[in-house]
Amino acid sequence: MTNPLLADWTTEFELPPFAQIADADFAPAFDAAMAQGRAAYAAIADNPDAPTYANTIVAMEQADAALDRVAGVFFNLCSADSTPAREELQRDLSPKLSAYSSEIVNNRALFDRIEMLWAARDTLGLDAEQARVLMLYRRMFVRAGAALEGDAATRLTEVKSRLASLGTQFTQNLLADERDWVMPLDDLAGLPDFVVASARAAAEERGLDGHVVTLSRSLIVPFLQFSDRRDLRERAYTAWTARGANGGATDNRAIAAEILALRAERATLLGYDTFADYKLETEMAGTPQAVRDLLMQVWEPARAKAMADAEKLEAMLRADGQTGPLQPWDWRYYAEKLRRAEHDLDEAALKPYLSLENMIAAAFDCANKLFGLEFRALDVPLYHPDARAWEVTRDGRHMAVFIGDYFARGSKRSGAWCSTMRSQRKLGGDVRPIVVNICNFAKGDPALLSYDDARTLFHEFGHALHQMLSDVTHGFISGTSVARDFVELPSQLYEHWLEVPEVLADHARHVQTGEPMPQELLDRLLGAQNFDQGFATVEYVASALVDLEFHAGPPPSDPMQKQAEVLDALGMPQAIRMRHATPHFAHVFSGDGYSSGYYSYMWSEVMDADAFDAFREAGDAFDPGTAAKLERFILSAGGSDEAEALYTAFRGRMPGVDALLRGRGLAA
């Protein structure tokens, strides 16, 4: 019987045939796909003909077609719908895939062909995209250690293999802690109906009676906002911030220390002073000091705002007859009360106007007005009943399949992200992407979002647009294949359209009556946009600075001690914690993606605040000319040029930090 992962997919839009795929199919499919890849790379390396762009770079672009297809399905399932079998296979695969990658970049004959092309690049008649791709391939090989020989090359392969295994273990430990902890609720005091419903649904999912709190962000954050029981808030908050640090088999602290030591060794083997120097070399920031300078420009005004807010919140706590200083599990509770007092804005009154269905429609509508995209619901088998799919078209042309998977569940890791099961490219035919947005909203009937949830939905859909509108020849540079501190620009920029009054007026409609959000409530919502930005900015910047200092010097033997030293030097407010403490800092320790790079959200925010100003200056949030420039130079361009060049082509210049501070309400 043919393995469905390796057969031709005759499904609509060549979607993975999920109904036919069993967990047992993945291991043999990966083995076969890697065997195909090895044969393809060997044929390129051993080709007796002189290297050309076509017989080397184009051939390499197509060598991993089978592996990309299998991995595109498997790793999406591992993060969105994990099973014990998939977790075991992922642990087994991590070192195998790392070894496979090392084989390719350590293939001297392959690297020699790339070097010959690079030396002759000015005589090859390459267009701009081909020249860019050649440079990126060479850079990838060099940074992966292709120029190393002997013991150094062997050791680098060992280091990368171990890092792959540790990243998988870190992720699975975190998922286990999030999945296993539950707190039964026998007191619902202060909880609005939507939190009560979410707590009941969480209990039902686990086969329990009554109501429970879990470590899903979509449930624990509103619980911390509304529960009148300070002791229960403390218990829940303590468990939330202890993920990955509970001792035993799922403790991530020793794993984090080993990861940092191995990253430092990797950088040294490649000739860099620190891992941050290595990692930031290819980013817009360029150096650790440039990152530090940006973050500190934001830290001081954010900390001052947070300290002023803390005084207000502590006064409210004492007025409630509570003793002791304001604690981290008190902040959200009293901030919600303060928001209600200062802006007459009640989250419970707001949520009926922010149903999941309406916010999906709002995101689609903005994409239609800006880029002419249309969305048609599909009735196709997917990997989980919660997942939904749409065909995306423009002027009758198929652009993408978009899959939305919005609800929290025990098999899904926390957070929100965008991924692809297939990326856009033109080599080998006009290949259109399959794009996936994952969120972790509380399930309800109907599902109601907080305003932060709605921003998350728009954020991830901005990433999806970067994939859907990609228009390049090489898959190597398609979609979000850009500098890490540029990749968040489209996602954070798209959040701004949720703030456009006409978008909320059209789509923020009461889930039962269909009435639009009252103008005075809409005005209060938009007026409270910067409420509690001191807190939000401090918890984020603290995490980004800890990440940077982990990697910008000798690796700490005790990351928790290093974390404490960095926060102490910053004067971290007592009642605010890092957004992601080290043992559950998945951005940094689940893989290399955001290591030394968590700052990139803020680096991108400098641009997104300035980029939305382009629409303001045009006098229309949906100005066609500005939208066309945004698509041409940012969304469709992928990694076809340096990020700074792409942004400057769109805006005419690079921005300063002023727009960011103004947007967060932190400007002097």
H or E element in which residue 422 lies:
strand 417-422
Residue written as tokens 């727009």?
659
Return the closest-CA partner of residue 445 out of 512, 522, 364, 348.
512
Dihedral sign from CA coordinates of 7, 11, 16, 18: negative
Q: How far is CA 388 from CA 361, 382, 527, 567, in A?
A: 14, 7, 34, 42
Start-end of H helices in 188-274? 193-205, 217-226, 230-241, 253-269
Strand 388-394 to strand 397-407: parallel, antiparallel, or no bridges (unpaired)?
antiparallel
Phi-psi category of 638—alpha, beta or left, where left has phi over 0 and alpha has psi -120 to 50? left
Spatial contact of 373 and 394, defined as CB atoms under 8 Å apart: yes
H or E element in which residue 441 lies = strand 434-441
Q: Which two tokens stand for residue 589?
A: 């320790």
Q: Which helix (H) or strand (E) holds 44?
A: helix 26-45
Judged by DSSP in three states, 349 sits in helix
How many CA atoms within 13 Å lie on the side-chain side of 45?
17
Supply 314's token pair. 């502590």
Distance CA(423)–CA(435), nearest Å, equals 8
281 labelled catalytic: no
Neighbours of 158 (CB within 10 A): 16
Whole-number Å distance between alpha carbons of 470 and 431: 11
161 alpha carbon, distance to own chain's centre? 23
Q: What is d(CA 409, CA 382) in angstroms, rounded to the nearest whole number? A: 16
**How many Å apart are CA 318 and CA 126, to the nearest integer?**
70
- Inter-CA distances, 180 with 18, 304, 406, 413, 586, Å: 28, 38, 21, 12, 18
Query: Is-contact 29 6, C-beta < 8 A?
Result: yes
Cα 331 to Cα 286: distance, rounded to the nearest angstrom: 36
Fill in the amino acid letter for 514: G
Is residue 169 classed as helix, strand or coil in its secondary structure? Answer: helix
- Per DSSP, the three-state class of 378 is strand
**Options 347, 460, 539, 549, the catalytic residue:** 460
Q: Are 63 and 100 in contact (CB under 8 A)?
A: no
Under 8 Å between Cβ of 449 and 354: yes
Listing DSSP states for 528-588 in one string gives TTTTTHHHHHHHHHHHHHHHHHHHSSSPPS-HHHHHHHHHHHHT--TT---SS-GGG-HHH
DSSP label of 187: -
Sheet holding 388-394, edge to edge: 374-378, 388-394, 397-407, 434-441, 417-422
SS3 content of the chain, % helix, strand, coil (to 5): 60, 5, 30
- Per DSSP, helices labelled H in 372-499 are 451-468, 484-495
Strand 434-441 to 417-422 pairing:
antiparallel
Contact 331, 322 (CB under 8 A): no
By annotation, the residues acting in catalysis are 460
